[in-house]
Structure 1
Amino acid sequence: MAATLCGRLLPKAGWVPLTQSVRHGSKAVTRHRRPMHIIKQKLMAVTEYIPPTPVAPPGALTPRVRKIEEESGLAILLRKDLETLFKECKMIAVVQNNASNAEDMQLLKHRLKKHNINVKFFPNQVMRSFLKDSIYSNLLPLVIGQTIIFVSKEPKVKEMLQVLRGNPQMVLLGACIENTLLSYQGVLNYSKLPSMTTIHGELVSGLTMMTSQTVSILHRHPAHLSALLQQYVKQQGTGDTTEAVLDKDAA
């Protein structure tokens, strides 16, 4: 049985199988794409289709009209009040408010009111619209953030600085005193100047001294001249008496 199976399964000498395995390799490239001729390239570039640009919608190119906002009646009224303050008041100080509460603000108003100094609140928009067209345009950089102004009909700078020393939340930025724009250092220098009463007294005393000196100078020359003449007359009188005594002795 085993010999029979082995004889059937094992190939016989000189036997050729019916199927044969063939190895298939990659195909050889025999044709390459030839480059386009230069003339044809130029012709294709000239005749290339260029699609037209899309037309913009009718309302896309029209300029937008900006609406000009007209000032409200309240803004016009506030600007007129501000203009009146600049005309009537000789001292207008710009102060920055750094988170001051209502109680401190009320106390500050009370202390300033003792010296006839008022505290005014104006919106920055109203301040800028007034200052940009006025002679006080150099105050524009000071109107930033929360700012208030101190106004007074008389330049009471010393009193204002004394009150501000007790309120560190209030920072003085600048002032317009007697139509003159001053910085913080300029306000300090102005406060060191003597008052008008003192200046008037010094002026009057100086003028009085000058007039008294002038009168004394004018009177000195005639008095000196009269003294010289009196001395001359005395000398002449003593000379005459001496000559008379000598004549008597000679006789």
Structure 2
Amino acid sequence: MSYLVKQVLLQSRTPLVQFQRFRGKINIQRPQKPHYERARVTAVTQPIYDKPPPEKNCFKKALKTDTINPYDKIIAKEVFNWLEHSKMVGIFHLNPISEDELFKIRVALHRQNITFKRYGKKIIKMAVDNTKYEAIVPLFDSNHCIVFSPEQNVATLIKITRKVPQMLLLGGILENRLLSRNEFMNFANLPNLQVAQAQFVSVLNMAAGQLVQNLEAHQNSFVNILDVYAKQGVSESGDATPEVSVEAASMEAEISAKESKITEVKDSTSADEESAKLKDDKPSSKKSDSEEPKE
């Protein structure tokens, strides 16, 4: 009996019909849209609840007003004072950097009499509003830093900041003039004021010396011509035989030609004078011949 129960009642049998899904996995978070008829039925059957009454609050919301903090005014005056009394101002974009590296930069700049500062855009805008420095406001849109120096240590500043890739130069102010990055870098390659003054003095001295040389050029050339002519006369007499250059020979030929012209003019004038004298003598001789027969 137990064998029959095990074989007939307790034995598992495979089902004759097996259901299988062919649509894939069901996404619970993003279910598919139902059929139009079903969607309309669900929309109609949704319950409508009454809105809860609004809560009564005794406190009114405070309106936000743009009030200026007095401490911000003090900091803005400090920034404007730095801009007015600094001969060199450098503006840098500051990438993410650790405080230890930033402290090292501050120390290196402080040793060269350069002050490192960081201010917010609101403070900068408040400090330079309606001033001659208003053009630097667009440079402070992102994270930035600014350096001040009472001296024009441009080369030293660039030498220090080259070692820090997190600091990128955007521009600067030198002698109350806004410079771009390229102009700021070119200014570092210029010599200092003393060297520029020495070069200017040398140019002025060169111009003065050239003017004196041009004024004395004709006199010196005339003296040289006379010297060559005198040496040539000595060489013809046999006392000395100096070497005469081609140019000196040409100058001597010109002088001799001029002398020959002068002698010809003198000869012609002397001949004219003699002919005039002869004409004057002829009438006197005729008068003397006519007077002799009367006696």
Name 1:110's counterpart in structure 2: 107
Query: Within 2, Cα distance between the matches of 1:212 and 1:186?
Result: 36
AA aligned to 1:151 is: F
Name 2:120's counterpart in structure 1: 123
Identity of aligned residues (%): 24
Query: Within 1, Cα distance between the matches of 2:139 and 2:117?
Result: 16
Name 1:214's counterpart in structure 2: 211
AA aligned to 1:144 is: D
Structure 1 residue runs without a partner (length 5+) = 1-63, 237-251
Choose from 169, 186, 196 the match for 1:189. Answer: 186
TM-score normalised over the length of structure 2: 0.51
**For the structure 1 residues 225 and 129, does the alpha-carbon distance in structure 2 shift closer, same or farther, using more than 3 Å as the test?**
same
Name 1:7's counterpart in structure 2: none
Structure 1 residue 234 displacement after superposition = 9.8
State how many pairs are aligned. Answer: 175
Name 1:166's counterpart in structure 2: 163
Q: How large is the Cα RMSD of the aligned pairs?
A: 3.0
Mapping 1:40-51, distance limit 5 Å = none
Residue 80 of structure 2 contacts residue 128 of structure 2 at CA under 8 Å; is this kept in 1? no
AA aligned to 1:67 is: T
Mapping 1:1-251, distance limit 5 Å = 67-69=65-67, 71-225=68-222
**For the structure 1 residues 227 and 189, does the alpha-carbon distance in structure 2 shift closer, same or farther, using more than 3 Å as the test?**
closer
Deviations 1:78-110 (A, max 9, x none): 121211111111211111222222221221122
**For the structure 1 residues 182 and 231, does the alpha-carbon distance in structure 2 shift closer, same or farther, using more than 3 Å as the test?**
closer
Deviations 1:196-242 (A, max 9, x none): 23222211111112222222222333344456677889999xxxxxx
AA aligned to 1:176 is: I
Which structure has more RCO (C-alpha within 8 Å, separation ≥ 6)?
1
Deviations 1:22-80 (A, max 9, x none): xxxxxxxxxxxxxxxxxxxxxxxxxxxxxxxxxxxxxxxxxx986341x3332222121
Query: Within 1, Cα distance between the matches of 2:201 and 2:87?
Result: 25
Structure 2 residue runs without a partner (length 5+) = 1-61, 234-295
AA aligned to 1:121 is: R
Name 1:36's counterpart in structure 2: none
Normalized per residue, the structure richer in helix is 2
